[in-house]
A and B are shown apart, each in its own frame.
Chain A
C-alpha cells in the first residue's frame, strides 16, 4: 500500500476546462453583465462575481422519456396506511418519483456560477480602449527589455556560462588527447611499485611514459581561453507609447456627497481600466473648487473639500502640468472631467476658450461626464456650453450619469473601441 500526499499538486487542474467553459459562455456573459452590473457598486469589483446566465448553450442533452406521457410504475419506501387500490394525489412538480425518466441533472433555466475578479474585469474591459492612441513618439522607457542572445566568446566574468564552457573544454580535451589525471596517477603508482621491486627496465619505461604524459598535459591545458563562453544578453528597446490621463473632478459645494460618490466611482473604473490595460499610462488627478490643485490618488478618491466652482481653474492647472511635465510632442494626452454641470457664469467664456483653443487641440480624447441626480441633460451650464463642441471636435464626448447604475454602461460607451474607431480624425 502506498500513501501519496497529493496536496502539493497543482490545484487548478480543471483550469483548462474552466477556460473552455468561459469561452463558450462569453457571449451570454456579456448580456448577463449588462443586467447584473446595473445593481453593482464599484466596491463589488474587489471580490469575485456571481453571474447567472441562460443555460441554453450549456445544456447537455440526453435521450430521456417525456415525463408527461405514458405509464409508469415505481416502488417507494415508507408506506404508512395505503392499501392496494388506494389513490394518491400526484405530487406537483414531479417530485416523489423514484424512477421515471428524470435522467437529466440540469433542467434549470439559468446557470449561476462565480467568476474570479480577474475573469470579471477581463470580460468587463474587453473591447475597451483609449481612442486615438497615436504613436506620438517611440521612446525607450526606463524599462528596456533584456533578452538572451546566445553566447559570446568574451564578456564579464559573472556572465560566464559554465555549461557551454565545459562542453567546449571537454570536446577539446578529447580531441587533442589530453591524458586523464587518474591515468597519470596510476602510472605513478606502478612506478612506485617498480621502484620498491627494483626493476630498472620497468622504472625507465614508466618514467618515459609519465614524462610523455605530463608533457602532453602541459601542452593541452584543462581549460583554455578558446573554451570560454559567456551568456550574451542584449538590451532591446521596447517601444512604448506614452500616454497621460488627466482626471478632473469638481468637488465644490454644489456637488453633493452622492454626486461626488458617483464621480469617484467613474474614476475608479477608469483607474482600474487604465492600470490593467496600459502599463505606460500615467495618471494625473486634479480636483477643483474655485481653485484647482493636483492631488494624489488617495486624496482624490477619499479627500473632502468644498467651495465655489471655477472650472477654468482646473483647465489651467492641467495646461500648467502639461507644460511642465508632458510635452505635447512626446505624450498622448487624455482627459476626463466630471462635474455636476455648475460653473460661475462669468467663468464660462474663459472655460470654453481654454477648452476649445488650448486643450482640445492637444488632447487625443476628452470626455465630459455630468453627474446629475434630477435635472434634464442639457439643463446645466456646462452641458449647454460644451454641447456645440461635440459637433466641432471628434475627440470630444460628453455623457450624463444620473444613477450609479448608469456608470458602467456610460463608461463602456465612452471607451468602446469598436464604436469609436470611426471617429479617428485627430
Chain B
C-alpha cells in the first residue's frame, strides 16, 4: 500500500464538509494531474431529496421561469419517488461557469466521491471542451440568462395576466424541438448583407419596371402578371431567408401579429432549446466520458490506498448497475444505455491505442498501437458528437461483445427482419445504422418553413420532408399547427413531401383561433 498520499481519505459512510474538501482535492489531483482533464471552476452544492425533485421539475436548471408544465413534471416525479418506483439521481450537473454540481445529502461518502469524480470532473471536462458546447452554449452566461428569463416572464405575467403568458408558453414549448439552429448561423459580414439587399432592390426595381410597362398595354395578359407576382413572392421568400428550420426564430422575427413582449418570450424559449441541443447530441459521449473518468479516478484512489475495500466494493456495485446493458428481449430493456455504450467505447479506444490486435490495426490504422490513449480519448471528446463518434470509433470487437444487430421494421410487414449482425459483412452496416440512430436531425421530423406570404392572405407554409415513409402522427401534428397558427395569427398549412420523389403525401391546414 502506498503511503505517499497519506492513507485513507475517509472511512465509513458518513460524510461531512471537511471530508468533501479532502476528497475533492484528492480527486482533483488525479483528474488534472494524471488524466489531464481541463475543467471549469467547480461549485458543489449539497441539497435534500426534495430539492432534487425541484431541480428535476425545472428540467435540471437552478432557476427557471414558471410554467404549469414544470409543476406537472414535479407532481409526476414526486409520485414516482414517493411510491418507490424510481430513485433519484445521485447528482445533477449544470453546464455553467462555475460548473454547479448538486449532490444529495443522503449519499454515502463513497457516493459523494463518485459524484465528484463523475460530475465535477467528468461532465465538467466534457462541457468545457466538446466543440458543440463551445460553439452553442455560453457557460459563463447561462445563469444570468436564466435569471433574466425568469424575471422577464414574471414581469409579463404581472402586466398581461397569467393566462396570456401561459398560453404563449404552451405554444412556444410545443415548437421547442424545432426551435434550434442545427447548423452554425450564416453570419454575413455587413458588406455581404449590403450586397444582398442591393441585389434585392435591383431585382425589385426590374420587376417593378416590368409591371409598369406591361400592365397598361396588356391588362388581360394574366400569365405575365402571374409570373411577376410569382417573382415578387420569390423575393419575399429570399428576404425572409426561407426556407427556415428554426420555427421559433422565424416567428419571433416575422409573425405579423405578435407584440414585442411575445417575441421576446419566444426568443427566451428558443435560447433554452438551443442550450439543451448539444446535450441531446452528445448524451452518450458525455455519460461515457463521466463514467470513464469516475471509474479511472476511483480505481486510482484505491490503488493509492486512499479509499478502502469496502468503499471500492460499494463503488463497483453502483458502477456495474450504471453500465448494465439489458438485452433487447429482456424485461428491463429500454433502448441502448448511453452509459454502457459510452463507457465501453472509451475503454475500447484505450485498448486499441495500447494493446491492439490485427483487426484493430486494420480498422483503426491511425490510432492502433500508437499509445497515448488518454490523449486520443480527450481528443475524441473534444471533436466528436454521438453520431460521428460511433461512425469513427465503434470497433468490430465491441459490436461482437455487445452482440449488436440490425433489424428492419416496415409497418406493412408482419415481421421484422434481421438485416445485419456482428459478422464480417455486418460490422459496417451495424455501425452506420447505430450512428444514424444518434443523429437527431435524422431521428426528428425534418420540418421547415418553406413559404410565408406577408402581404396577401398571409398564409404560412411548412414542409415536412418525409424519409422512409415516416409520416407525422396526425393528432399531434394538428395540435402543434394550431399552436403555430395562433402565434402566426393567420392560416398555416403543412405539406408532407417525400424527400426523394418530392411527391406530396399528405396535407394539414390550421386556422388561427381568436
Contacts and interface: CB of A to CB of B under 8 A. Distances in A.
Interface of A: 1-7, 9, 11-14, 16-24, 50, 58-80, 82-90, 95-101, 103-104, 111-114
Given A1-B24, A11-B51, A88-B417, A75 B76 contact: no
A111 B68 CA distance: 14
Given A7-B46, A7-B48, A65-B470, A75 B326 contact: no
Interface stretch (B186-194, B223-231, B288-296, B471-479): B471-479
Nearest to A102: B335
A63 to B, nearest CB: 5
Contacts of B322: none
Contact of A17 (B20, B46, B57, B178): B57
A77 B325 contact: yes
Contact of A86 (B98, B335, B418, B425): B418
B420 A84 contact: yes
Interface in B20-35: 20-21, 24, 28
B336 A98 contact: yes
Given A6-B46, A17-B66, A75-B437, A90 B415 contact: yes
A78 B340 CA distance: 13
B419 A63 contact: no
Given A1-B28, A2-B43, A85-B418, A64 B327 contact: no
Nearest to A82: B418
B365 interface: no
A4 B409 contact: no
Contacts of A84: 418-421, 425-426
A87 B415 contact: yes
Contacts of B415: 87-90
B437 A74 contact: yes
Nearest to A8: B48
A63 B476 contact: yes
A76 B24 CA distance: 39
B57 A69 contact: no
B243 interface: no
A84 B427 CA distance: 12
A3 B21 contact: yes
Given A17-B66, A69-B469, A63 B47 contact: no
11 contacts: A5-B45, A14-B57, A17-B58, A17-B67, A20-B66, A20-B67, A20-B68, A60-B170, A70-B471, A72-B470, A77-B328
A75 B75 contact: no
Interface in B404-430: 404-411, 414-422, 425-426, 430
Contact of B406 (A16, A58, A63, A73): A73
B19 to A, nearest CB: 10
Among B45, B82, B408, B483: residue with most chain A CB under 10 A? B45
A85 to B, nearest CB: 7
B336 A75 contact: yes
Kindly list the 10 A-B residue pairs having the minimum CB-CB distance in the complex, ordered from nearest: A78-B327, A21-B71, A70-B470, A17-B71, A113-B75, A70-B469, A76-B328, A87-B415, A20-B68, A79-B405
Interface in B136-186: 162, 166, 170, 173-174, 176-178
B21 A16 contact: no
B25 to A, nearest CB: 8
Contacts, number: 266
B71 A7 contact: no
Given A77-B326, A78-B329, 8 more contacts: A13-B51, A14-B71, A72-B468, A73-B436, A76-B328, A82-B421, A101-B443, A113-B76
Interface in B48-78: 48, 50-51, 54, 57-58, 66-72, 74-76, 78
A223 to B, nearest CB: 44
A408 B323 CA distance: 52
Contacts of A76: 328, 336, 404-407
A406 B214 CA distance: 81
B305 interface: no
A64 B471 CA distance: 8
> In the complex, which range does the number of interface residues on chain B fall in?
35 or more
B437 A99 contact: yes
B513 to A, nearest CB: 16
Among A12, A67, A72, A83: residue with most chain B CB under 10 A? A72
B134 interface: no
A18 B71 contact: yes
B409 A72 contact: yes
B74 A74 contact: no
B411 A71 contact: yes
B315 to A, nearest CB: 21
A98 B437 contact: yes
Contact of A71 (B28, B75, B404, B408): B408
Nearest to B475: A61
A366 to B, nearest CB: 41
Contact of B68 (A24, A98, A100): A24
Given A1-B24, A90-B415, A63 B166 contact: no
Nearest to A1: B42
Contacts of B445: 63-65, 101
A13 B471 contact: no
A275 B43 CA distance: 48
A65 B418 CA distance: 22
A63 B41 contact: no
A101 to B, nearest CB: 7
A22 B68 CA distance: 8
B48 to A, nearest CB: 5
Contact of A4 (B45, B57, B178, B403): B45
Contacts of A64: 444-445, 472-473, 476
A17 B327 contact: no
A65 B472 contact: yes
Given A4-B45, A71-B469, A78-B327, A17 B474 contact: no
B151 to A, nearest CB: 13
Among A9, A50, A101: residue with most chain B CB under 10 A? A101
B398 to A, nearest CB: 11
Contacts of A89: 415-416
Given A20-B162, A83-B418, A111-B76, A3 B17 contact: yes
A23 B68 contact: yes
A100 B473 CA distance: 12
Contacts of B68: 17, 20-21, 23-24
B434 interface: yes
